[in-house]
Structure 1
């Protein structure tokens, strides 16, 4: 019988910017600590995404000493830092897909830095610790809540799934195109489609919905350049009901620390 082991843990503190790879992470009610707790919005309060603004791929994020730093990859001197607790003013209504949520602007200085970088007026907002943005009721099990992520607290992908895709591509790609929180080793390509319930340590996860992919995966995370792959190839063998599927969205029960190397203990298969 195959065994599955956690090989990567990733968080993306600011939605649509670069991720941070961790050896261990704390899982909270909304998902991994600091994951998608911040987000850029336009003047209408709508979230800003790499799907339209490819230049966001060139902003890397680091976390140290209770501070987040955002750095432009092509000019390391071009950066901005702010405290994890920093926010100003009153709550702002923000739109993520069909959801209305709330956030607080981090600071005018930080918003100005992003506005200069993007050449458009934007604000960086932080999700309030009181905010209760619900997971889609069609897939929720117990009124679970989520951060500024697209819809679910966590996303998992098997390394075998990427390896299988790369065998079909002329130019292999990295896992960061798919922005997973968890990557695991073991099993065949897309074995995660068959997961129903599994545990990491004492935390129980349910795989509730395959992840439908979009043009974001065609953006090279090192260069910010958009191509046709891997969406074109994926669509040839991973399309179901007009959606291209890769990875599984998760909801969880319980809180604690998750570490690389831990075994995914499958409790129930689909």
Structure 2
């Protein structure tokens, strides 16, 4: 019997298929040398099918070869001679008791239902099944890399964020009730967008949502209430921030940062900074320092996210969140000392340091604080 212990799950599926055929059909075992050769062929094909370089045409060829190799590996060889009866006629062979078909056993081992056609077509069909189980699109065992520690929504760009325990992930960002991430922004009389880079005191404005009204509050001023639904009589200015969405996030709807990376930065600073200085939507705990830089595809609960680019940092990070005064130095200078991009990426990021990662939504669902986060691609 073929050894399966050192094989991957995809290769093991193909070997289980071949082993089931040999047991169920009762074929004579091949010579050890030929069996090893054909098993090596099946193993190499499984390895080729899950490689990224395997295209559609090459996949069909390898899939056909996999079915043929499985067929040859469990071929019956010579038919046994039947005893001759008197008169030169062969005596009929005794009818064997009914046994489960090889196709049924192999499909059951692979977790599938159905019966293949008899003969070589059944072997080829199960070769197809083994290929589909070995292809790269199959979901593999998930690896947990962290846990959602905190969630923030920033309804007005550059104003204070609103911490939430759960939010719906949409193509435009997080949504909780009437609060959508970076859905509103401040403009001046000329219609130009104003952020905390020009007016640092914007970080002192907090927001609450009560019913259909949005309340903006700040120290030493009266509260300002605005209707969430704009009256049709008001003049509406449509400020498109980029070509893909109307939400006003800098580069992507989701910004992710880890607690470990923030702690490493604070270990280099005299005055500690908070996660709010970098305005992430999702703060992750339980991962390594700058582990988020290597994540490509993530699954948080049932939410699928895909990396777009790193977060380049500007003087916004130097604004004191308690006073609304910018120093224009820290933590930006420290970040520049060890988190600069490489020469090949300077055209994209310039001389800005990189801290955190931007992601886009692949499968919309609800994310909650405490949800485990799994790595799908690195």
TM-score w.r.t. the length of structure 1 is: 0.78
Q: Which of the residues 221, 230, 234 maps onto 1:86? A: 230
Runs of at least 5 residues in structure 2 that lack an aligned partner in the other structure: 1-142
CA positional deviation for 1:200:
1.2
Of structures 1 and 2, the one scoring higher in RCO (CA 8 A, sep 6+) is: 1
Please identify the structure whose Cα radius of gyration is greater: 2
Size of the aligned set, in residue pairs, is 222
Task: Report whether the alignment pairs 1:234 with 2:376.
Answer: no
Runs of at least 5 residues in structure 1 that lack an aligned partner in the other structure: 100-132, 135-144
Matches of 1:192 and 1:66, distance apart in 2? 37
What SS does the aligned partner of 1:207 have?
strand
Give the root-mean-square deviation of aligned CA atoms.
Answer: 1.7
CA positional deviation for 1:51:
0.5
Matches of 1:14 and 1:188, distance apart in 2? 32
Q: What is the aligned partner in structure 1 of residue 264 from structure 2?
A: 164
Q: What is the aligned partner in structure 1 of residue 361 from structure 2?
A: 252
8 Å Cα contact 2:158-2:202 kept in structure 1: yes
Distance 1:231 1:219, change over 3 A: same
Q: Summarize the alignment of residues 87-236 of structure 1 with structure 2, pairs less than 5 Å apart.
A: 87=231, 88-94=233-239, 96=241, 99=242, 133-134=243-244, 145=245, 147-227=247-327, 228-236=329-337
Q: What is the aligned partner in structure 2 of residue 140 from structure 1?
A: none
What SS does the aligned partner of 1:3 have?
strand
8 Å Cα contact 1:146-1:153 kept in structure 2: no
Matches of 2:240 and 2:247, distance apart in 1? 13
CA positional deviation for 1:58:
1.3
Q: What is the aligned partner in structure 2 of residue 16 from structure 1?
A: 158
Q: What is the aligned partner in structure 2 of residue 36 from structure 1?
A: 182
Which structure shows the bigger proportion of residues in strand conformation? 1
TM-score w.r.t. the length of structure 2 is: 0.56
Matches of 2:144 and 2:371, distance apart in 1? 14
Q: Which stretch shifts more, 77-86 or 22-31?
A: 77-86
CA positional deviation for 1:95:
6.0
Q: What is the aligned partner in structure 2 of residue 54 from structure 1?
A: 200
Runs of 4+ with deviation above 4 angstroms: none
CA positional deviation for 1:2:
6.3
What SS does the aligned partner of 2:353 have?
strand
8 Å Cα contact 2:310-2:355 kept in structure 1: yes
Matches of 1:243 and 1:55, distance apart in 2? 23
Post-superposition Cα deviations, 1:131-166, rounded to whole Å, max 9, x if no partner, equal xx41xxxxxxxxxx3511122111000011100000
